[in-house]
Chain A
């Protein structure tokens, strides 16, 4: 049977991550959508604590998502993909810096995280200032648009 993207239980997936204590942050446009920006995206972007790679993969497999490489290789490369009914890009790095030298560590971003829908999906995303920093990593035109949305989301409040 071919599993369609609509079959992916993202709420269940993120609840399972929270229940298992996986330290993750949802980045990218799905984070913007969760905050309330109507932007389009085809995948999920997660940033996880290095030591939680195995736990994430175990949960992912229960949602028919298969890692593209083993945890040691993922840690060496700094990223990998979970493939299945959805595509999940996973960043495995202790820190990343912008072109102008602003360093964001996972532990700092995780410490400042926002939990959306704490009684429901319990989705962990970076605070808006840190999301803006992540949007300065790649310097793409779409990141300009996304920072504009993030600035407006900050003005709009929760």
Chain B
């Protein structure tokens, strides 16, 4: 057995492991209060909607990125 964890295991722990309710609320409140982060997200959404103006194009984007991730060439997906 090895103590080293794969990238997938680390990503799972970071994104998928459930939090206690109080910690979930704490993280959510902190994130919603971060104005810089909100501006960055608003810009991302505006870009994505300009780049992929239709629902069909957005779903095709998600399919392409899932395929790229499955082949090991992209970020891990959730």
On A, residues with C-beta under 8 Å from B are 4-6, 8, 10-11, 29-30, 33-34, 36-43, 86, 99-100, 116-117, 120-121, 123, 136, 138-145, 147-149, 151-153, 155-156
* Contact in complex: B62, A36 (CB < 8 Å): no
On B, residues with C-beta under 8 Å from A are 14-21, 24, 27-28, 31-32, 37-38, 41-42, 44-49, 52, 54-56, 58-59, 61-67, 69-70, 74-78
CB distance from A96 to the nearest CB of B (A): 15
* Contact in complex: A148, B32 (CB < 8 Å): yes
Q: Contact check: which of A37, A40, A138, A145 meets B48 at CB < 8 Å?
A: A37
List B contacts of A142 (CB < 8 A). 15-16, 78
* Contact in complex: B41, A120 (CB < 8 Å): no
Q: Contact check: which of B44, B46, B63, B77 meets A10 at CB < 8 Å?
A: B63
A8 and B63 in contact, given A138-B18, A139-B19, A139-B24 (Cβ under 8 angstroms): yes
CB distance from B77 to the nearest CB of A (A): 4
* Contact in complex: B55, A156 (CB < 8 Å): no
A148 and B31 in contact, given A38-B44, A40-B69, A139-B21 (Cβ under 8 angstroms): yes
Excluding A36-B49, A141-B16, 18 further A-B contacts by CB distance (< 8 Å) are A5-B70, A10-B63, A33-B59, A36-B45, A36-B48, A40-B65, A40-B74, A42-B78, A120-B54, A123-B55, A138-B18, A139-B21, A140-B19, A141-B27, A142-B78, A147-B28, A152-B42, A155-B42
